[in-house]
Amino acid sequence: MSRSQQLYQQACQTIPGGVNSPVRAFNGVGGTPVFIERADGAYLYDVDGNDYVDYVGSWGPMIMGHNHPAIRQAVVDAVQQGLSYGAPTAAEVTMAETIQSIMPAMEKVRMVNSGTEATMSAIRLARGYTGRNKLLKFEGCYHGHSDSLLVKAGSGMLTMGEPTSPGVPADLAKHTVTVSFNNIDEVKAVFAECGEDIAAIIVEPVAGNMNCIPPVDGFLQGLRDICDQFGSVLIFDEVMTGFRVALGGAQALYGVTPDLTTLGKIIGGGMPVGAFGGKAAIMDHIAPTGPVYQAGTLSGNPVAMAAGLATLTLIQPAEIHQTIAEKAEYLMAGFSSAAKEAGISLATVTVGGMFGYFFTEAEQVTSFEQATQCDVERFKKFFHLMLNEGVYLAPSAYEAGFVSYAHSQQDLDKTIAAAAKAFATLAAQ
Ligand code: PMP
């Protein structure tokens, strides 16, 4: 038995399912999870001495690669000063100013400790600001695990085949209206019925929790227009896309400005950080300026701010995002031609440094329905074949992949060669 298998068995005795976040348990692909000892650059190293080219990147934060020396040093320097004060610091001001300079729509910003907290707080604010209860979200989009948002959610919820989590009161879930991603007509139909009651639309501007699905032309602008018409708040959940699909996120890439934005992952450089922000007129409704309560003992934590600021400094040169996008395109072009050669039907997509691949006959996947109709059994086999070749892909057919700046040409070529071998094996089965 491997050390990972031993640790997993041991973990299952004291940790539910052996993990602290469900998708890590490999329940989407079968088998037992790999336990990680350390990570560096584009690589993960497990407790059995295996190494893997990593395309999960801690589910997003590691855009510059693991254990980047400048980020590590910033954390070490911050730690020398103390770990947490529960009082304001200069680093928080710099962080808010830095976010605002990169995303001008974030006129005011509040730091929190996770993406879940960011979206939960943004929704409370939108409800408090508008005095309305209803929320419109999209099937297969995941916005963290707060009650209002665990209705027909993506990510681990999809992997487990649970549309809505037990424990979410029906009285609350009834305020969340769910429609199809990329279908503006459905959105219009819901607003025609109850638009005056809708506090907010929340959307992943590029869906990354049902694999990777970009918005179709006009979809995001359509949401903007309808929110303007009905006085609803448009929330872009850029926890995944922020600083990734472009430096300024999806709002810069697609030229559509939300009222509120939620951030996470990259903004913490690997530390537990999230943020929400947007129009000053809305943000000023948050306590202590306004009546909508929101707070956090560790929010704006100095060590987390140091890691986040170091990351945001590193990613600002234009070359960074261009290079990451090229790497992702190269990788997916390689997957695509290798699959074709083996006679395997595969659709691929990239948006900046985010990528997706679908085992499907379709040329493009634009909807939740299509994403869930892909060949999941084939995906599971592919995942394990790649893992055996030293490539760590997201262990679920419903997660986007991430390329970092640290992935070298050699790493990408190694990955494509492994994929070619895996496709040939799949074709022979
Ligand atoms: N929103 C999106 C778009 C996400 O992808 C995630 C996490 N994958 C979240 C919110 C929740 O973030 P966290 O896991 O940090 O709570």
Q: Is residue 365 a contact partner of residue 349, using CB atoms and an 8 Å limit?
A: yes
Q: Could you give the C-alpha distances from 158 to 16, 140, 295, 422, in angstroms and in order?
A: 19, 7, 30, 25
- 77 pLDDT band, cuts 50/70/90, is very high
Instruction: Write down the pLDDT at residue 162.
Output: 62
pTM: 0.97
pLDDT tens digits, one per residue of 319-364: 999 999 999 999 999 999 999 999 999 999 999 999 999 999 999 9
Instruction: Write down the pLDDT at residue 158.
Output: 66
- The verdict on the CB of residue 142 being under 6 Å from ligand 1 is yes
Q: In the predicted model, is pLDDT for residue 151 greater than 70?
A: yes
- The verdict on the CB of residue 143 being under 6 Å from ligand 1 is yes
**What class does CATH assign to 69-314?**
alpha beta
Instruction: Write down the pLDDT at residue 121.
Output: 98
Residue 351's φ and ψ, nearest 5 degrees, are: -135, 105
Query: What's the mean pLDDT when you consider all of the chain?
Result: 96
237 included as an active-site residue: yes
If residue 234 lies in a helix (H) or strand (E), which one and from where to where? strand 233-237
If residue 257 lies in a helix (H) or strand (E), which one and from where to where? none
87: CB partners within 8 A, 6+ apart? none
40 included as an active-site residue: no
Average pLDDT over residues 162-185: 88
Q: In the predicted model, is pLDDT for residue 309 greater than 70?
A: yes
- The domain ranges of the chain are 3-63+318-428, 69-314
Average pLDDT over residues 366-384: 97
- Other C-beta atoms closer than 10 Å to the C-beta of 44 total 23
Average pLDDT over residues 67-96: 98
Q: Look up residue 35 and give its DSSP letter.
A: P
Instruction: Write down the pLDDT at residue 164.
Output: 77
Residues in the chain, total: 429
Instruction: Write down the pLDDT at residue 150.
Output: 85
Closest-CA residue, ligand 1 atom 12, reads 115
Q: Is residue 276 a contact partner of residue 125, using CB atoms and an 8 Å limit?
A: yes
Closest-CA residue, ligand 1 atom 13, reads 115
Q: Is residue 162 a contact partner of residue 142, using CB atoms and an 8 Å limit?
A: no
Q: In the predicted model, is pLDDT for residue 271 greater than 80?
A: yes
Q: Which CATH architecture has domain 3-63+318-428?
A: Alpha-Beta Complex (3.90)
Average pLDDT over residues 145-172: 79
Instruction: Write down the pLDDT at residue 163.
Output: 64
- The verdict on the CB of residue 402 being under 6 Å from ligand 1 is no
